[in-house]
């Protein structure tokens, strides 16, 4: 009914023609419109974590027989905003044993890649900021840079617990990166593209007019790939049951023990932005992106479908966090290397066989 993508591009078209008709050079107009588009993404990346923090507090509250934030605004909806303002005005404490530069750079390095990672995500029809040809690989690789930020935080704090947290993070994130990449490979093989937009568009259509042709509904390969991707995404975002790097009962707060105020907020922002990013990726790769179901096409615009599915997966993340205890370090590694990896390899082989069958 109301597709955001065409409307936005039309708006930019009108703005650009208005500017050029009033004597602004076309190069400048394009540049400015690009800057505005970039800022929309940055705004989104900054707002989504706030929403997720609120969702997390409310969801966890209802899972734990309590109410959650209730005082700031109706049902406490402005609580995150208030917290953000508080964090902004907090004193920036750097421990005397810390390495100032590393301590300063750690949250920056952790948060910067997130903004870039949102570029190839297809938020709906005509709403892909940059349709990269290597979109999936791009997201997976660039999000790996954040690990460096965590390591810097662990090293720069001058604290044994932080250091242990950093070391654990390095081991965990490097290990889980592998099944995460491998779990996506069947999708790429099947659709023959690495562009998230192409993959999402290719999943439109129905079997027998009922079952959507989403990748998750492909027998065996779809489900295995989705589960492996989901589990390793939870591990990549350092959330319970895989929050070993920041295990609060063991390492106090792990790599961000010595970070306060805005620096801590940046780490937090990165974590939630990655949760949303992983969910958005899962939606585009496995759940058909903006493809609707049950209702006839067009009643609900694709970007709302996309957000709905994404938030459904975000809810899974929250659910895991508030139900499961934490795994032990060695068990975590065993789980990655002895369970996730073999299954994703088997899955790739299966997907290859299926692709061959389809080619015949």
Partner 1 sequence: MNSTTVPKTAAEVFPQKPPEKGMFISLGPQHPSTHGVLRVAITVDGENVTSAQPDIGYLHRATEKLAEKRTYPQIIVLTDRLDYLAAMTNNWSFCLAVEKMLGVQIPERAEYIRIIVGELQRIASHCVFLGTYGIDIGAFTPFLVAFGRERERILDLFEEICGARLTYNYIRIGGVMADTPVGWEKKVRDFVKEMWGHITEYDTLLTYNPIFMDRTKNIGTMTPEMAIAWGVTGPNLRATGFRADVRKDDPYGLYSKMKFDIPIGKQGDCWERYWVRISEMRESLKMIEQCLDMIQPGEWMAKLPKVYRVPVGEGYGHLEAPRGDLGFYIVSDGSPSPYRMHIRAPSFINLQALQQLIVGWKVADVIAILGSVDIVLGEVDR
Partner 2 sequence: MSHLPSLVFYAMSAALILTAIGVVTMRSVFYSAVSLVAALTVVAGLFLLYGADFLGAAQVLVYIGGIMIIMLFVVMLSQRPHDSMERQTNDQWFRALCLALVIGISLVRGFRIFINQMVSTVVPVPTSASLGRLLLGDMLLPFETVSLILLAALVGAVLFGQDKKS
Distances (CA, A) of 244 to 169, 201, 232, 325: 7, 37, 14, 11
Stretch that binds partner 2, among 54-62, 147-155, 223-231, 328-336 (CB under 8 A): 147-155
| Closest to 180 in 3D by CA, of 124, 219, 142, 225 | 225
Count of other CB atoms within 10 angstroms of residue 199: 25
Q: Under a CB-based contact definition with an 8 Å cutoff, are residues 119 and 196 in contact?
A: no
Q: Under a CB-based contact definition with an 8 Å cutoff, are residues 189 and 355 in contact?
A: yes
Which residues are paired to 211 by β-bridges?
Answer: 207
Is residue 60 close enough to count as binding partner 1 by CB under 8 A?
yes
Using CB distances below 5 to 8 A depending on partner kind, what does residue 13 bind out of partner 1, partner 2, none? Answer: none
Is residue 297 close enough to count as binding partner 2 by CB under 8 A?
no
Residue 320 CB burial class (10 angstroms; 0-12, 13-18, ≥19): middle
Using CB distances below 5 to 8 A depending on partner kind, what does residue 265 bind out of partner 2, partner 1, none? Answer: none
Q: From the centroid of its chain, how far is CA 116? A: 12
CA–CA dist 338, 319 (Å, integer): 25
Using CB distances below 5 to 8 A depending on partner kind, what does residue 300 bind out of partner 2, partner 1, none? Answer: none
Instruction: Select the residue interacting with partner 1 from 127, 199, 247, 282 (CB under 8 A).
Output: 247
Instruction: Select the residue interacting with partner 2 from 140, 185, 252, 355 (CB under 8 A).
Output: 140
Using CB distances below 5 to 8 A depending on partner kind, what does residue 322 bind out of partner 2, partner 1, none? Answer: partner 1
For partner 2, give the closer residue by CB, 28 or 63.
Answer: 28
Which residues are paired to 207 by β-bridges?
Answer: 211
Q: Which of residues 220-249 bind partner 2 (CB under 8 A)?
A: none
Which residues are paired to 212 by β-bridges?
Answer: 206
Is residue 338 close enough to count as binding partner 1 by CB under 8 A?
no
Phi-psi region for residue 23, left (φ > 0), alpha (ψ -120 to 50) or beta?
Answer: left
Is residue 359 close enough to count as binding partner 2 by CB under 8 A?
no
Instruction: Select the residue interacting with partner 1 from 12, 315, 322, 343 (CB under 8 A).
Output: 322
Instruction: Select the residue interacting with partner 1 from 225, 273, 287, 327 (CB under 8 A).
Output: 327
Q: What is the 3-state secondary structure (H, E, C) of 238-259?
A: CCCCCCHHHCHHHHCCHHHCCC
Q: Under a CB-based contact definition with an 8 Å cutoff, are residues 262 and 90 in contact?
A: yes
Contact code string over 11-50 relative to partner 1, x by CB under 8 A: ----------------------------------------
Is residue 249 close enough to count as binding partner 1 by CB under 8 A?
yes
CA–CA dist 108, 117 (Å, integer): 15
For partner 1, give the closer residue by CB, 128 or 162.
Answer: 162
Is residue 110 close enough to count as binding partner 2 by CB under 8 A?
no
Tell me how far, at minimum, the Cβ of 173 lies from partner 2, in Å: 7
For partner 1, give the closer residue by CB, 2 or 62.
Answer: 62
CA–CA dist 220, 284 (Å, integer): 19
Is residue 134 close enough to count as binding partner 2 by CB under 8 A?
yes
Tell me how far, at minimum, the Cβ of 59 lies from partner 1, in Å: 11
Is residue 167 close enough to count as binding partner 2 by CB under 8 A?
yes
Which residues are paired to 206 by β-bridges?
Answer: 212
**E strand segments, the chain:** 206-207, 211-212
Distances (CA, A) of 64 to 58, 77, 248, 325: 10, 19, 19, 15
Tell me how far, at minimum, the Cβ of 75 lies from partner 2, in Å: 40
The 3-state DSSP class for residue 212 equals strand
Using CB distances below 5 to 8 A depending on partner kind, what does residue 14 bind out of partner 1, partner 2, none? Answer: none
Point out which residues bind partner 1 (CB under 8 A): 60, 63-66, 160, 164, 240-241, 243, 247-250, 252, 321-331
Point out which residues bind partner 2 (CB under 8 A): 27, 102, 105, 132-134, 137-138, 140-142, 144-145, 147-148, 151-152, 154-155, 163, 166-167, 170-171, 173-174, 177, 181, 192, 194
């Amino acid at each position: 009914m109301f597709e955001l993508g065409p409307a936005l591009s039309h708006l930019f078209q009108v703005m650009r023609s208005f500017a050029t008709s009033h004597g602004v050079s076309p190069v400048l107009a394009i540049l400015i419109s690009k800057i505005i588009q970039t800022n929309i993404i940055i705004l989104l990346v900054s707002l989504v974590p706030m929403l997720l923090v609120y969702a997390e507090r409310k969801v966890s509250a209802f899972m734990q027989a309590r109410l959650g934030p209730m005082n700031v605004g109706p049902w406490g909806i402005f609580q995150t905003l208030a917290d953000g303002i508080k964090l902004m005005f907090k004193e920036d404490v750097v421990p005397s044993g810390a390495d100032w530069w590393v301590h300063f750079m750690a949250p920056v390095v952790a948060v910067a890649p997130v903004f870039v990672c949102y570029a190839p995500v297809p938020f709906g029809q005509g709403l892909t900021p940059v349709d990269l040809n290597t979109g999936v690989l791009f997201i997976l690789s660039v999000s790996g840079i954040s690990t460096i930020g965590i390591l810097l935080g662990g090293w720069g704090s001058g604290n044994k617990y932080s250091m242990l947290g950093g070391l654990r993070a390095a081991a965990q994130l490097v290990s889980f990166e592998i099944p995460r990449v491998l779990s996506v490979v069947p999708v790429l093989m099947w659709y023959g593209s690495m562009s998230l937009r192409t993959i999402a568009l290719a999943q439109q259509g129905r079997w027998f007019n009922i079952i959507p042709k989403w990748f998750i509904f492909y027998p065996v390969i779809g489900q295995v790939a989705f589960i492996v991707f989901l589990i390793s995404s939870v591990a990549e975002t350092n959330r319970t049951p895989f929050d070993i790097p920041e295990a609060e009962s063991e390492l106090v707060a792990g790599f961000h023990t010595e970070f306060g105020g805005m620096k801590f907020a940046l780490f937090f922002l990165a974590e939630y932005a990655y949760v949303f990013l992983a969910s958005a990726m899962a939606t585009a790769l496995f759940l058909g992106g903006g493809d609707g179901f049950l209702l006839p096409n067009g009643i609900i615009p694709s970007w709302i479908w996309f957000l709905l599915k994404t938030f459904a997966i975000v809810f899974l993340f929250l659910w895991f966090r508030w139900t499961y205890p934490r795994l032990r370090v060695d068990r975590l590694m065993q789980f990655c290397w002895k369970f996730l990896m073999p299954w994703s390899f088997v899955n790739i082989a299966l997907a290859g066989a299926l692709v061959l069958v389809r080619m015949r």
